[in-house]
C-alpha cells in the first residue's frame, strides 16, 4: 500500500519539530526527526574522537537506529538511547559539520527512505523534499527570520543553567544556516514544488494550523 509522505524542511530553530509533532498527532502520522540521526552520528564521532579522515571507514561501526516508543521517536547508538544526550549546542554545531560529509548522508539515506516506505510520515530535515523524498505528497519549507528563531530559542533556554546570551544563540543560528545552505551535498534549500510557510509572525498554534491547511488542501 502506498504510504503518505509529508516533507518539512527549513533552517535551524524554525520550529519544525514542535510544529511537525503537533501536526502528526492531528493527522495520525509518525513524526520523523532526521536531524536526530545527524546529531547521533556527531555524538559517535565526538565521543570516539574520530579524525575527519577516518569518519567514512568508522561509520559501519556506528550502529545508529531509530525506535518509536509510545509514538515518540528515540535514537540509539547500539543499545544506548542517546536521544537526550544529542541536544547540546556542541552537538548541534558538530552535526552541522559532519552532515556536510557525503558518506554520512549516504549512510543515513536508506534508514530515512525505509521509514517513509513503511509508514505515513511527517519527516523533517534539510533535504527531505529535495533529496530523501523527492516524490513526497506534500512539501513544506518552514522558516522564520534568524532574529525570531534566536529569540524563541533564548526564551526556551532562559531557565537553564549556563544559558547562552541572545547574541551567542543568534551567531550560532546564522553560522549553522550558512553551513547548511552552502555545503556541496544536499544543501538546505526550498524544493521547487514546496509551499513556503514563514512563521516569523505566527505562534505555534497558528503555524500548525497553517501547515495542516497546506496538507489538507493537497491530499
Ligand atoms: O534539525 P537539527 O537542528 O536537529 O539538525 C542538526 C543538523 O543536522 C543540522 O544543522 C543539519 O546540518 C543536519 N541535518 C541535515 N539534514 C537533515 C537534518 C539535519 O543535514 N535532513
Domain ranges of the chain: 5-213
Task: Write the pLDDT tens digit of every residue in 36-78.
Answer: 999 999 999 999 999 999 999 999 999 999 999 988 999 999 9
Tell me, what's the ipTM?
Answer: 0.98
Point out the ligand 1 atom lying closest to the alpha carbon of residue 128. 21
Edge to edge, what strands does the sheet with 121-125 contain?
30-33, 121-125, 5-9, 138-143, 195-198
Please give the annotated binding residues for ATP, written as ranges: 10-18
**Cα separation values, 34 from 111, 127, 162, Å:** 10, 10, 27
Please give the distance, rounded to the nearest whole angstrom, from the Cα atom of residue 102 to the centre of ligand 1.
14
Q: How far is CA 179 from the centre of its chain?
A: 14
What fold is seen in the domain 5-213? Rossmann fold (3.40.50)
What's the predicted TM-score (pTM) here?
A: 0.94
Please give the distance, rounded to the nearest whole angstrom, from the Cα atom of residue 4 to the centre of ligand 1.
22
Residue nearest to atom 9 of ligand 1 (CA): 96
Residue nearest to atom 4 of ligand 1 (CA): 35
Task: Write the pLDDT tens digit of every residue in 207-219.
Answer: 999 999 999 999 9
Amino acid at each position: 500500500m502506498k504510504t503518505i509522505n509529508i516533507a518539512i524542511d527549513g533552517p535551524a530553530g524554525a520550529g519544525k519539530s514542535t510544529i511537525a509533532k503537533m501536526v502528526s498527532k492531528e493527522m495520525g502520522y509518525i513524526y520523523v526527526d532526521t536531524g536526530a540521526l545527524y546529531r547521533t552520528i556527531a555524538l559517535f564521532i565526538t565521543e570516539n574522537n574520530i579524525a575527519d579522515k577516518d569518519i567514512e571507514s568508522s561509520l559501519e561501526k556506528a550502529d545508529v537506529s531509530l525506535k518509536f516508543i509510545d509514538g515518540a521517536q528515540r535514537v540509539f547508538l547500539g543499545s544506548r538511547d542517546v536521544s537526550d544526550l544529542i541536544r547540546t549546542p556542541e552537538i548541534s554545531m558538530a552535526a552541522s559539520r559532519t552532515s556536510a560529509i557525503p558518506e554520512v548522508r549516504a549512510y543515513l539515506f536508506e534508514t530515512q527512505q525505509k521509514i517513509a516506505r513503511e509508514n505515513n510520515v511527517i519527516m523533517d530535515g534539510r533535504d527531505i523534499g529535495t533529496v530523501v523524498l523527492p516524490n513526497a505528497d506534500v512539501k513544506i519549507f518552514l522558516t522564520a527570520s534568524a532574529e525570531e528563531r534566536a529569540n524563541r530559542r533564548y526564551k526556551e533556554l532562559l531557565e537553564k543553567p549556563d544559558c547562552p546570551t541572545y547574541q551567542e544563540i543568534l551567531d550560532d543560528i546564522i553560522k549553522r544556516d550558512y553551513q547548511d545552505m552552502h555545503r556541496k551535498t544536499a544543501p538546505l534549500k526550498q524544493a521547487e514544488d514546496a509551499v513556503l510557510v514563514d512563521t516569523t509572525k505566527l505562534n505555534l498554534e497558528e503555524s500548525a494550523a497553517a501547515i495542516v491547511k497546506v496538507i489538507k488542501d493537497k491530499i
